[in-house]
Amino acid sequence: MNILIVGAGLAGLSLARALFLRGIRADVVERRLDWTASGFGLFLPGNASRAFARLGLLPAITEAAEPIHRQDFYDQRGRHLGSIDAEAFWAGCGPCLGMPRAIMHAILRDSVADLPIRAGRTVAALRQVDGGCEVTFDDNSVATYDLVVGADGLFSTVRRLAVDPAPPTYTGNGSWRFFARNLPGIDAWTVMVGKGRTLLAEPVDRSTLYVYIERTQRAGDPLEFATGAELQALFADFGAPLGPLLEQLLPATPLHFSRIETVQPRTSVSGRVVLIGDAAHATSPSMAEGAGMACEDAILLADAIAAKDDLDAALDRYAARRKPRVEWVKAQSETRDRIRRLPTPISTRLLRYAGMAMYRRSYAPLLAEA
């Protein structure tokens, strides 16, 4: 079978690896030339590590990652609202882990090291033909594939050309990310919530924390280009354990801003074009399910491709199987976002008295295999 994967991010490389394990080599194109070392931190819940174990990559990932045994919740003044024993909750699946995204990406890339990836290349046009899809690349070369997989992320070109032209939707939240030294000795995934603002940190190695800051604001807000000093002022009322981390923000600290945007294409399969990962279902990161869902997509799609079966029927079954889980994660992420926007006394009371039960309820379906 002749397969093109567009995008060599977590979803595209996971699929290349899953196909490789089933004896299938795909062509991969990646738009960026410098695509290897980007991103900040990732939190991987147990279902994500279970999925990466299916790709044979868990030993390499656990060696590079920090185990996350606990998830702690605080209000912005530093009052403890509750904790989840993440290790116990996810015991049947796999470990929860914190790690730099760039390392995860490198592990995936190494796992398909002999697969040539055409970097600096993208697709310009897609045309469904009988039993396949004709692809025109941006250098005007043309090739026909049995299947084209759009693994090209939130702003997917494949989605726009072949499935749904609608652009992503802004959630109303902006985010900043950076790495900090773990001076406070944070040993858990830790979040602090205040009205419309979230401050989160997790260890990604012995001495480094990945810090994630989120704020409800309109698109184009001047604070999208906030300096470290402006963020410090914005979170001045946040106490220990995480508030003091912002003192580490220096003018030279690399600070990455992104609007949190989501997509909900009308379908993930259109003829011989399939979307996976963020291209198919980017959600707000509040469930930290992006990498895990991308890897689960990849494994189930590889199973569908490898089945000695009518490919169109196998793709339809793939889409039907993924739909309920994708919709669940999306709905739960939106609920979490809404709770964080409530007036502080209400959101903190909700988290204190119902938060841990809500956590268990929202993740419980993901304990089952995808």
HSE-up (13 A, CA, CB side) for residue 137: 19
Other residues' Cβ atoms within 10 Å of the Cβ of residue 137: 17
Residue 175 binds to ligand FAD (criterion: CB under 6 A): yes
User: Interface with ligand FAD includes 291 (CB under 6 A)?
Assistant: yes
Tell me the per-residue interface mask from 97 to 126 with ligand FAD, x by CB under 6 A, - otherwise.
Answer: -------------------------x----
Residue 366 in the binding site for ligand FAD (CB under 6 A)? no
**What span, in angstroms and rounded, lies between the C-alpha atoms of 176 and 81?**
24
The nearest distance, CB 214 to ligand FAD, in angstroms, is 8
What is the closest distance, in whole angstroms, from the C-beta atom of residue 294 to ligand FAD in the complex? 5
Report in angstroms how near the CB of residue 79 gets to ligand FAD at its nearest.
25
Contact status, residue 329 vs residue 289, Cβ threshold 8 Å: yes
- Please report how the helices 344-367 and 311-341 are oriented relative to each other, as an axis angle in degrees rounded to 10: 160
CA distances from 37 to 9, 33, 112, 257 (A): 11, 11, 16, 17
Using the contact rule CB under 6 A, the part of the chain among 6-14, 238-246, 322-330, 351-359 near ligand FAD is: 6-14
> From the CB of 92, what's the least distance to ligand FAD, in Å?
19
User: Residue 130, class by beta-carbon neighbours within 10 Å (0-12 exposed, 13-18 middle, 19+ buried)?
Assistant: exposed
Cα 174–chain centre separation = 16
Asked whether position 94 contacts ligand FAD by CB under 6 A, the answer is no
Among 4, 5, 6, 249, binds ligand FAD (CB under 6 A): 6
Which residues in 34-63 contact ligand FAD (CB under 6 A)? 35, 42-44, 48
Residue 217 CB neighbours (<10 A): 18
Q: Does 174 bind ligand FAD (CB under 6 A)?
A: no
- What is the rounded radius of gyration, in angstroms, for the C-alpha atoms of the chain? 21
Pick the piece of the chain touching ligand FAD (CB under 6 A) from 56-64, 146-154, 164-172, 236-244: 146-154
Let me know: does 13 contact 105? Beta carbons within 8 Å.
Answer: yes
Residues that bind ligand FAD (CB under 6 A): 6-12, 29-32, 35, 42-44, 48, 122, 151-153, 157, 175, 258, 277-279, 285, 288-292, 294
